[in-house]
Amino acid sequence: MRGLFSQNARVAWPVYLEVLLCMNVATSPAARTATGPQATIAELVARLEKNICSVVLGKPEVVRMCLVALLSGEHVLLEDVPGVGKTLVAKALAKSVSGHFCRLQFTPDLLPSDILGSTVYDAKDAKFVFHRGPIFANIVLADEVNRAPPRTQSALLEAMSEGQVSVDGQTMQLPVPFLVIATQNPYEYEGTYALPESQLDRFLVRISVGYPNAADERRVLSSHRLGEPVQDLQPAVTGEQILQLQQAVRQVRVDDSLGDYLLEIVHLTRQCAELRVGVSTRGALSLYRAAQSLALIEGRTFVIPDDIKRLTPAVFAHRVLLKGLARTSHREAAEGIIRRLTDQVAVPR
């Protein structure tokens, strides 16, 4: 085995890693039950992606970015106008993974205790008992998260960063895997509160769903003729298999030159005259992990420069602050700047 890591056997390393990862998944009881003893990483990912795309029509890139966040162990922010399928994407992903799913409808009167839970006095046992809130789930849909005031939004910060919540001096771990899929309408809509930068930084990617094209919209009409297809969606993978896929992501190789390439883009955002705040170190780590996840989803055991170029707008745009620009056009302008800065960096060979 030591020879596989030597300079002369570098070509054998991806093959060895793929075999190792397949063995890890295939030998688990969950994998044998769900996909048979010969299941591979690629089969699990393809099965999950196909299951989601069966109801989310015409949005393969949106689905793939959501899977990148899931396998990275981080969270997703879906931002767009009402009615384009943000909630559908979140529900399809949640139903495709067996586990506890909870939907939270954010409203202006929602309190932090409505999310985290609260301590209630039990007169029968003469003691205080903590009743867990809906945040204690594997996948949490925070629907229209920017309709709640900042105090309520902040209840998600510790959960999204640390995978735990603290209430009345007690710290409790959340179940794993844990994923928050938040949706928000453009903040200029009446009755919404813009998410603070500290909370935006907790999301791995911010994605705009967009309108479907004419052919896909016609398919949507046909598929909804008899009801909501997402209601009949069955789990494609187990929670245990998601954890194994997340572990496999950590084994995807990132060459040192690609790490330098990534950091050069980060440093350019900090020096850009159009940006008041550049990408943080947390943002650099998020892109690093996202690139590993994208490589795994596409069947590779190593990251390539195109993975980083493809991910930078979705991972970086919501982490920067622009100078002298109205917030109404922040997302589009920020993504354009990030793409331009990425193109200025020489791709490593």
Model confidence pLDDT, tens digit, residues 17-66: 444 444 444 433 333 333 443 348 889 999 999 999 999 999 999 999 99
Segment 285-301 mean pLDDT: 95
* Same domain? 70 vs 154: yes
Token reading at 312: 């930078």
Q: Residue 75: which of 196, 203, 235 has the closest Cα?
A: 203
222: helix, strand or coil:
helix
- Which of 250, 269, 286 marks a domain boundary? 250
Please tell me the predicted confidence (pLDDT) of residue 329: 54
Q: Give the number of domains in the chain.
A: 2
Q: Please indicate, yes or no, whether residues 101 and 227 belong to a single structural domain of this protein.
A: yes
Joined together, the tokens standing for residue 245 give: 């896929």
CATH code where residue 102 lies: 3.40.50.300
Specify whether 231 is located in the same domain as 289: no
The string of pLDDT tens digits covering residues 36-50 is 433 488 899 999 999
Beta strand 275-277 with 179-184: parallel, antiparallel or unpaired?
unpaired
Q: d(Cα 259, Cα 77) in Å, to the nearest integer?
A: 25
Q: Are strands 179-184 and 117-122 parallel, antiparallel or unpaired?
A: unpaired
277/332 same-domain check: yes
Do 313 and 233 belong together in one domain? no
Regarding whether 222 and 114 lie in a shared domain, the answer is yes
Where in the sequence is the domain holding 271, given as residue range(s)?
Answer: 253-349
Last residue of a domain, one of 250, 276, 299: 250
pLDDT digits (tens, 9 = 90+) for 263-286: 999 999 999 998 999 999 999 999
Q: Which of 250, 267, 287 is the last residue of a domain?
A: 250
Does 122 map to a domain? yes
Average pLDDT over residues 316-338: 79
Same domain, 217 and 296: no
Please report whether residue 58 resides in a domain.
yes
CB within 8 Å of 91: residues ≥ 6 apart: 103, 141, 230
Strands 170-173 and 164-167: antiparallel
Give me the mean pLDDT over the 326-330 stretch: 54
